[in-house]
């Protein structure tokens, strides 16, 4: 893998540093095979940390959440960074000066956006009002797909995970030459044909006050008509912020789409740089708040099917966790194309997707699908 002239290739002989097993796909970047990641997590922990650190250095991002005793604490996500005066937080949005903490990700944001015709290729398009007409006439303009209407797709260009397979990794370029936008910039993009706004990224969490403020403002200005607010998140945000997301989604007819990237904490740490226990806790909280509106569903789960790492065993464990909360929560298994540091990996295979689909159903979920089927090999 080569980005900005720096190589992140794995061992020169293409074999696992611990067991000597031949490596492929994202494992070549890690230098550790999936078996050793799962079964020898402490032995490979420091090496994997170094891989993630190098991948962040390319974009001027800190290797780990800063924790300066004298730093100002950011409470927007569960890292609770305390950057020094001239130091960035883990997400790269704020630095340790008071002015940045009060302004960045709040009154202004690193953001890009486009108008996406409905129905669109959304994680929730198979259950949401825009794709199906669910919730008509309260939450949808039609009994079927909202042809002729648009989603304002808002990419918040920061993230508090470090996924080596990131499908939207180019948002990181925003940190090399920041361009800020105020809420007024996006308010001008809303017209009568806009029936939903979806905040994704990156992740909305690091800049959530900006997105929540914008949502309330445009909902107020468009009172009396359908304008759904949707979110795609990794779930690693302060529970208070998650509750604000859920309230907007439930009230407006939108949904929160939470990406559960792995069940095994060692796999999650290897692929994403962070363990997942607090994300799973937040998913359970979100499900409780989502129970306030059952139709259309206010919470949708998804998992990217990373070759070699996210197999039917991982999916069975995740699906069992979801089913224990509510077996009717929609769950999308997402086929993945080679991206970012996984750009030499194969796409998700049809065999892997079918095995994972069976595993999710066997775990007790009643509403499961394979997404991005056009990517399957």
Residue-wise pLDDT for 28-60, tens only, equals 889 999 999 999 999 999 999 999 999 999 899
Helices (H), the chain: 26-30, 34-39, 41-57, 98-103, 129-132, 183-187, 208-221, 239-252, 265-272, 277-290, 312-325, 350-362
Q: Annotate 85-102 with b (16+ C-beta within 10 A) or e (fewer).
A: eebbbbbbbbbbbeebbe
Which pLDDT band, with edges at 50, 70 and 90, does 269 fall under?
very high
Which pLDDT belongs to residue 82?
Answer: 96
- Measured N-to-C along each axis, helices 350-362 and 312-325 cross at an angle, to the nearest 10 degrees, of 30
- State the chain's mean pLDDT as an integer: 93
Q: What are the residue boundaries of the structural domains of the chain, listed by start? A: 2-57, 64-104, 110-375
pLDDT in tens, 131-151: 999 999 999 999 999 999 999
What CATH class does 110-375 carry? Answer: alpha beta
Tokens of 217: 């403002």
Contact 292, 251 (CB under 8 A): no
| For the chain, percent of residues with pLDDT exceeding 90 | 85
261 touches 271 (CB < 8 A): yes
pLDDT at 281: 98
Strand order across the 180-182 sheet:
180-182, 108-117, 150-156, 194-201, 228-233, 256-259, 299-304, 331-334, 368-371
- Give the mean model confidence (pLDDT) for residues 213-218: 97
Confidence class for position 26, pLDDT limits 50, 70, 90: confident
Hey, which residues does 257 pair with through a beta bridge? 232, 300
Q: What is the pTM of this model?
A: 0.93
d(CA 138, CA 146): 13
């Amino acid at each position: 893998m080569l980005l900005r002239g720096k190589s992140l290739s794995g061992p020169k002989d293409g074999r696992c540093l611990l067991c000597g097993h031949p490596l492929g796909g994202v494992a070549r970047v890690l230098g550790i095979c999936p078996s050793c990641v799962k079964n020898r997590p402490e032995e490979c922990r420091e090496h994997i940390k170094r891989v993630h650190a190098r991948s962040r250095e390319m974009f001027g991002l800190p290797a780990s959440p800063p924790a300066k005793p004298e730093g100002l604490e950011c409470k927007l996500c569960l890292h609770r960074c305390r950057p020094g005066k001239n130091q960035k937080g883990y997400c790269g949005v704020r630095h340790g000066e008071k002015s940045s903490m009060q302004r960045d990700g709040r009154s202004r944001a690193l953001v890009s956006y486009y108008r996406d015709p409905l129905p669109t290729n959304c994680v929730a398009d198979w259950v949401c009002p825009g794709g199906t007409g669910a919730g008509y006439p309260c939450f949808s303009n039609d009994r079927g797909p909202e042809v002729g209407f648009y989603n304002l797709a808002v990419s918040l260009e920061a993230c508090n995970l470090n996924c080596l397979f990131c499908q939207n990794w180019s948002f990181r370029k925003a940190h090399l030459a920041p361009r800020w936008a105020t809420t007024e910039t996006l308010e001008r993009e809303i017209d009568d044909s806009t029936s939903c706004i979806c905040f994704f990224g990156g992740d909305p969490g690091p800049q959530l006050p900006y997105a929540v403020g914008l949502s309330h403002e445009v909902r107020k200005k468009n009172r009396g008509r359908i304008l759904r607010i949707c979110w795609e998140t990794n779930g690693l945000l302060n529970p208070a912020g998650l509750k604000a997301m859920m309230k907007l989604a439930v009230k407006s007819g939108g949904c929160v789409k939470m990406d559960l990237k792995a069940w095994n904490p060692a796999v999650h740490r290897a692929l994403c740089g962070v363990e997942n226990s607090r994300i799973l806790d937040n998913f359970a909280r979100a499900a409780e708040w989502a129970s306030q509106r059952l139709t259309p569903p206010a919470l949708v789960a998804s998992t990217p099917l990373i070759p070699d790492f996210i197999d039917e065993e991982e999916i069975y464990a995740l699906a069992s966790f979801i089913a224990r909360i509510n077996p009717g929560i929609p769950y999308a298994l997402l086929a993945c194309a080679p991206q970012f540091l996984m750009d030499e990996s194969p796409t998700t295979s049809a065999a892997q997707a079918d095995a994972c689909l069976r595993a999710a159903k066997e775990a007790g979920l009643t509403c499961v699908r394979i997404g991005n089927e056009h990517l399957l090999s």
